[in-house]
Amino acid sequence: MTRKPLAVLGLAASALAVGILTASPAAAAAATSDFDVIFPDQRPQTWFHVENAASVVGGNITVNSKIWWQIVDDQVVDNSTRFNSLKITNRLESRPGKDSADVIEATRTCDVTKLANDNYTWFLDEPVNNCAAPSTVYDGEVWWSSDSTVVYDIAGDGKGSFTVELLGSPLVHG
């Protein structure tokens, strides 16, 4: 009699495992990164926040990078030109296996220089601070992610461009 309950328990565990293995793919995966820009003069230090997201929408894999910023000392209003250039590049990346190297499938670079110079703080989630690489048909056998890089050049510092590699989204698969 002890075998029957164990057999039922074993079947239930097997059904649960099959359900987990055949579950639908993750709808979305996101990761965030933060970095500071310190200016060489009286312009206030600025904190940047970037979210990289990958999601499956209507049979396609889509990726997006959203960028927000805020001056660190909120009692300051900075209407100066802070950047010669501020660009974010979003990448749709794939891997044939979980531990394989990333392959860039699509990329898009978005120039947010004017937006950052015109707005010393930006908290809104609008098309102007979103950068999305072109989407592609989703293949559940492939591991997908969103990744990004920010390249900025501080106005008046004479040091050229700085590059910040940001944390990519978790892998989407299944």
Q: What does the pLDDT profile of the chain (174 residues) look like in tens digits?
A: 433 333 333 333 333 333 333 334 456 899 999 999 999 988 899 999 999 999 999 999 999 999 999 998 866 777 889 999 999 999 999 999 999 999 999 999 999 999 999 999 999 999 999 999 999 999 999 999 999 999 999 999 999 999 999 999 999 999
What one-character-per-residue DSSP string does 76-145 give? ----S--EEEEEEEEEEEEESSTTSPPEEEEEEEEE-HHHHHH-S-B----GGGEE-PPPEE--TTSEEE
Task: Enter the pTM of the model.
Answer: 0.82
Side chain identity at residue 60, one-letter code: N
CA–CA separation, 87 and 112 (whole Å):
6
Span 130-148, pLDDT tens digits: 999 999 999 999 999 999 9
